[in-house]
Amino acid sequence: MSDSKNDIVLEMTDIHKSFEKLEVLNGINLQVRKGEVVAIIGPSGGGKSTLLRCATTLERVDYGKIVIGGDVLCDTISGRLSYCDKKTEKEIRSKFGLVFQNFNLFPHFSVKRNITEALIHVHKKSKAEAETICNNLLMKMGLIEKADEYPCNLSGGQQQRVSIARALATNPEIIFFDEPTSALDPELTKGVLTVIKDLAKEKMTMVIVTHEMSFARDVADRIVFMDGGVIVEEGPAYDLVTNPQQQRTKEFLAGY
Amino acid sequence: MSKIKIVSLIFRFYISILRGTPLMLQLFLVYFGPYYLFKVNTGSIAIGPFNYRFIATIIAFSLNYAAYFAEIFRGGIQSMSKGQYEAATVLGFSKIQTYFKIILPQVVKRVLPSVSNEIITLVKDTSLAQVISVTEMFTRASAAASAQVSVVPFIAAGAFYYLTNLLIEAILNRVEKSMSYYS
């Protein structure tokens, strides 16, 4: 892995974000290189999800700079924050995928349409092309026989795998996972984690907010521990889990 | 609800008035209003075979029921989870695509039972049109009942209302069923 600037897929610099008076992100710096898997861990309310939501355009930051796949989403120059225009934002949205904690599949669409709809109507692919992409992904997820089912007829684990397929369909440069297994029981969790593990082997760039500590240790290249709106500690996954340096990190990991 | 404050205020006022006053009063207002307020000779207004009595009925019912339907759809739209909008947003759907492809089809399914209720009430409410002397079914039944000194015309009228609604119910049930492929 080289350190060249071109290899950086996500760059968040000095990100600040508050809701009302509550400071949720208090100067976050995060860089993710191509092919890197970064796990974000930390207690609830520590700002992990908000950070992800800011990176995925679902929340606006108050201060800082975000660059995704070379495009500047927002920048703060001499104290003034400005966001890119709508066209660039749309461009940026095609560069990442987001997997939600509670899937957010479209219940009135079949599995197949959940995956192909954006390909056809946003990315202007032909129906045949979209279906080829869809079938390949469903095959990979072990869900090819579910293509014509509706989400309500799938288990939570299957739904989450469909939503991963949906996020992968547009061939994004980076995928964000917001606690992808928190809504699943341990047995279903396994299937979803296996899929993410496979993606890591294929060198998919991923940022994963998770509470699955052993998964983070085994799959991530790097772990970021967040609390109180700041990054308390970060480092190579195995080192951080087995030998945390900060007192706060030690306390948190002791709970697992 | 509209983010533009004045637009939202206008519609809230409209809905509040139309739902908060009797439909019969609204019928009177639409029927007599143009003459009393602007001296418009409504007697000469006609669209094809429909005189102003009939047109006024259509206008008053539309305005009144639009208010109720607006409320039903508002409730339906607001019941959609934020996640649906967010998933659509990150997939790159425009606001219009999100509304028509993702939100509205789900809202229609959710509000259908309430809409069915309103449609059935609407059929029965047409009997109100007699107050501006539209010769609708109930007017006819009343006339026949007093001429014949009999309740049979009322029973017949009731049967007609009921059969009409039975048909509507059957159609709406089919629509509901056609949308039951997901829950």
Q: What ipTM, to 2 d.p.?
A: 0.92
The 10s digit of each residue's pLDDT in A159-175 is 999 999 999 999 999 99
A146-176 residues labelled b (16+ CB within 10 A) or e (exposed): bbebbbeebebbbbbbbbbbbbbbbebbbbb
Find all residues with CB under 8 Å of A256, minimum gap 6, and list them.
Answer: A213
Task: Please give the mean pLDDT across all residues of chain A.
Answer: 94
**Can you name the CATH fold of B5-178?**
MetI-like fold (1.10.3720)
Domains of chain A by residue range: 106-171
Q: Where are the domains of chain B?
A: 5-178
User: Do A33 and A222 form a contact (C-beta atoms < 8 A)?
Assistant: no
Percentage above 70 pLDDT, chain A: 98
Residue B1 pLDDT: 64
| Shortest Cα distance, chain B CAs vs residue A53, angstroms | 10
pLDDT at residue A4 tops 70: no
Question: Is A94 close to B81, i.e. CB distance below 8 A?
Answer: no
- Looking at chain B, the whole-number percentage of residues with pLDDT higher than 90 is 59
Average pLDDT estimate for A1-28: 86
Whether A93 sits inside 8 A of B106 (CB atoms) is: no
> How far is it, in rounded angstroms, from Cα B30 to Cα B53?
9
Q: Closest Cα to residue A143, out of A191, A203, A202?
A: A191
B2 pLDDT above the threshold of 80: no
Q: Examine the pLDDT at A237 and tell me if it is beyond 60.
A: yes
Does any CB of chain A come closer than 8 Å to the CB of residue B85? no
The alpha helices in chain A, defined as continuous H runs, are: 48-55, 86-93, 111-121, 127-140, 156-169, 186-201, 213-219, 237-242, 247-254
Residue of A nearest to B87 (CA): A104
pLDDT tens digits, residue range A241-253?
A: 999 999 999 999 9
Q: B109: which chain A residues are within 8 Å (Cβ-Cβ)?
A: 108
A-to-B residue pairs, Cβ atoms closer than 8 angstroms: 58
* The pLDDT of residue B136: 76
Query: Is A122 in Cβ contact with B97 (below 8 Å)?
Result: yes
Is A112 near chain B, with CB under 8 Å?
A: no
Higher-pLDDT residue of A136, A2: A136
Mutate to test the interface with B, among A121, A166, A177 (most CBs of B within 10 A): A121
Helix and strand element counts for chain B (H, E): 8, 2
* Residues on chain A touching B181 (C-beta within 8 angstroms): 150
A1, pLDDT greater than 50: no
In chain A, residues with a C-beta closer than 8 Å to the C-beta of B87 are: 98, 100, 104-106
Q: Which of B84, B91, B102, B180 to mutate to test the interface with A (most CBs of A within 10 A)?
A: B91
Check residue A5 and give its pLDDT.
59
Task: Tell me the per-residue pLDDT of B37-87, one tens digit each, with 9 for 90 and over.
Answer: 888 887 778 888 888 888 999 999 999 999 999 999 999 999 999 999 999
Q: For A121-125, B58-62, B137-141, which range has the lowest pLDDT when averaged over its residues?
A: B137-141
Looking at residue A203, its pLDDT comes to: 94
Contacts of B41 (CB under 8 A, 6+ apart): B35
The pLDDT value given to residue A81: 95
Interface test with B, best of A106, A120, A150, A179 (most B CBs within 10 A): A106
A14 vs B141 pLDDT, higher one: A14
Max Cα distance, chain A (Å): 55
Assign A3 a pLDDT band (cuts: 50, 70, 90): low
Q: What is the mean pLDDT of residues A121-144?
A: 95
Model confidence band, residue A73 (pLDDT cutoffs 50, 70, 90) = very high
Q: How far apart are the C-alpha atoms of A94 and A3, rounded to whole Å? A: 25
Return the pLDDT at B134: 78
Cα(A89)–Cα(B100) distance, rounded to whole angstroms?
21
> Residues of A with CB below 8 A from B99's CB?
none
Identify the burial level of B127 via C-beta atoms within 10 angstroms of its C-beta, where 0-12 means exposed, 13-18 middle and 19 or more buried: middle
User: What tokens does B72 get?
Assistant: 């039903």
- Report the candidate in B72, B62, B67, B38 with the shortest Cα–Cα distance to residue B126: B62
Q: Which residue of A has its CA nearest to B97?
A: A121
Q: Which of B96, B105, B92 is nearest to A98 (CA)?
A: B92
Q: Which residue has the tokens 């990054």?
A: A231
B183 CB neighbours in chain A (<8 A) are 107, 152
Is the Cβ of A191 closer than 8 Å to some Cβ of chain B? no
The whole-number pLDDT of residue B99 equals: 96
pLDDT digits (tens, 9 = 90+) for A193-229: 999 999 999 999 999 999 999 999 999 999 999 999 9
Least confident range of A28-32, B40-44, B157-161, B173-177: B40-44
pLDDT band at B144 (very low <50, low <70, confident <90, very high): confident
